[in-house]
Homo-oligomer: A and B are copies of this chain.
Amino acid sequence: MTTMSSSGTHHTASSTLDPAPGRGRAPAATGAGASLRERKKLRTRQAIRESAYRLITEQGYHNTTVEQIAEDAEVSPSTVFRYFATKEEIVLTAEHDALMEQALLERPASEPPLVAVREAITGSMRGKYQDIPAELMQRLQLITQVPELRAQMHAIMDRNAEMLRRALAERTGRPEDDLELKVVASAVCGALTHVIFDWVERDQQEDLMETIERALSVLERGLTL
């Protein structure tokens, strides 16, 4: 779920994979052929994030100042804030997102909602798992441990629920502000977020995918015990 978040939505900085939809001349959607300037921006963005992660890992979140991050990334502090609205965002933003939305929309319309959600998650998760297990785990751990990040994470989940609701609305043809849709989306997101945080805190002793599937089946059964 962490990776469900739509990408960094800061004013100035737009990410490649979330290419300012609706703007005039959109750069190639794949991010491959971005303009020279865009490429440079991306690199700066990455440099800042990498510096941040390294320093935070070494010193902890609160002991790491934005100034240190800026210095390490060889930019000015003000530049950091031009790329990320807050210190929290540096940790929380992820470019490789929005994949899940894609995955969900690609499920056949005949599937029941929860089944589609399950398949979308397992599909996109499995993709991630081989790429960046260690880095993702480190990030998840940071998020669960630092209250500010945890709180922000919930805000991101809100946006994810929104996305999920829209996707479901499209699948089912129900109106956008349908109460049922809201309940389904928010319950699923709420449960999954909790389960994942819990799994991280419990030191990842069980298999995550299995845990998620068990959680989804409880939801399908109607929350009976």
Contacts and interface: CB of A to CB of B under 8 A. Distances in A.
Interface residues of A, number: 42
A188 B223 contact: yes
Contacts of A31: none
Contacts of A220: 222-223
Contacts of A155: 147, 150-151, 154
- Copies of this chain, count: 4
A209 interface: no
Contact of A195 (B179, B218, B225): B179
A198 interface: yes
Most chain B C-beta atoms within 10 Å of own C-beta, residue among A182, A186, A211: A186
Nearest to A186: B194
A204 interface: no
B113 A194 contact: no
Interface in A171-216: 172, 174, 179-191, 193-195, 198, 211, 214-215
